[in-house]
Chains A and B, each alone.
Chain A
Amino acid sequence: MKAYFGRRYSLSASHRLHSDALTAEQNRAIYGKCNNPHGHGHNYVVEVLVGGPVAAETGMVVNLVDLDAVVRIEVIDRFDHTNLNLDPLFTSTVPTTENLCRVVFRLLKDKLHAIEDGDGGTRSAEADYKLEYVRVEETENNFFQCFDAGSDISIA
């Protein structure tokens, strides 16, 4: 039986919205305060939903310990208490929360199944799940959600 498991994580980071493709005036007009030169920060909430069959022996879609490990390694350790603009993934992509959402989706998508246990097997009984969506809340009043990363987001 297919079900979904969701988890919410917090991370704090700074960013500045600025596009090199625009003039200083255009950046100011489009991004407003978000274009202030030294950036500003948010307490982001990243919500991750995975879907798959409920394993009979565990009652789980995914063991949250495994999910937490992947999200911590791929997302939290990478972005928490950092300046997003300085991450290589945002050197040519404006770190709007739309783009952060897509980047997080891209980072997690290929990692969220078949967690290896070092013996060639998987640590979970539940390895059949996949990422359904990533939702990023920038503040309590605005949030973004994506169901795929889009073809222009590359983590290579």
Chain B
Amino acid sequence: MVFLTRRATFSASHYYWNEAWSEEKNRQVFGKCANRNGHGHNYTLEVTVAGEPDPVTGFVVDLKWLKDVIEEKVMAAWDHRHLNLEVPEFATTIPTSENIAIAAWKRMEPVIAGAGGARLDRVRVYETPEIFAEYRGEA
């Protein structure tokens, strides 16, 4: 089994807000992230797939293909967008790094599974070089 990771970067804005809470509680829990005008990050997405190298090509997956999957499924929808206001899955879900990792998984996993080769192993999202979240498809 070999694990192959492809990185991609996107820039987006977001804010953290729970509509069920008072403004005071939102500010207490989310701090500066609760500023309703939003703020932005340069995100780095790491997509790791796992599988056996093909005996003919030596590829776990064709990296160009994986790059295109990331581009079409995630980058086209998220890059230079306001996640809360423009991305459907964050209309009611707070776009934390955890939820961004889960949403990226849901966008790509069916395509990768459908290709019948490698399986999606994990998605890691760096919000800054020091802060990241990861999803491995667990319930």
Contact = CB atoms under 8 A, between A and B. Distances in A.
B95 A3 contact: no
Interface residues of B, number: 27
Interface of A: 1-9, 49, 54, 57-61, 63-65, 125
A61 B135 CA distance: 11
A86 to B, nearest CB: 28
Contact of B98 (A3, A49, A57): A3
A5 B31 contact: no
B139 A8 contact: no
Interface secondary structure of A, over-half rule: mixed
B96 A2 contact: no
B97 A54 contact: no
Contacts, number: 65
A76 to B, nearest CB: 13
Give the interface centre of A2, A3, A58, A60 by most chain B CB atoms within 10 Å. A3
A1 B131 contact: no
Contact of B134 (A1, A6, A8, A125): A6
B129 A2 contact: no
Interface of B: 16, 18, 20-21, 29-31, 93-99, 101-102, 124, 129-136, 138-139
Nearest to B28: A123
Given A3-B134, A4-B136, A49-B134, A54 B129 contact: no
Given A3-B135, A6-B132, A7-B130, A61 B98 contact: yes
A7 B132 CA distance: 6
A49 B138 CA distance: 16
Contacts of B95: 59
Contacts of B94: 58-59
B129 A8 contact: yes
Contacts of A7: 130-132
Nearest to B123: A3
A59 B102 CA distance: 11
A125 B102 CA distance: 19
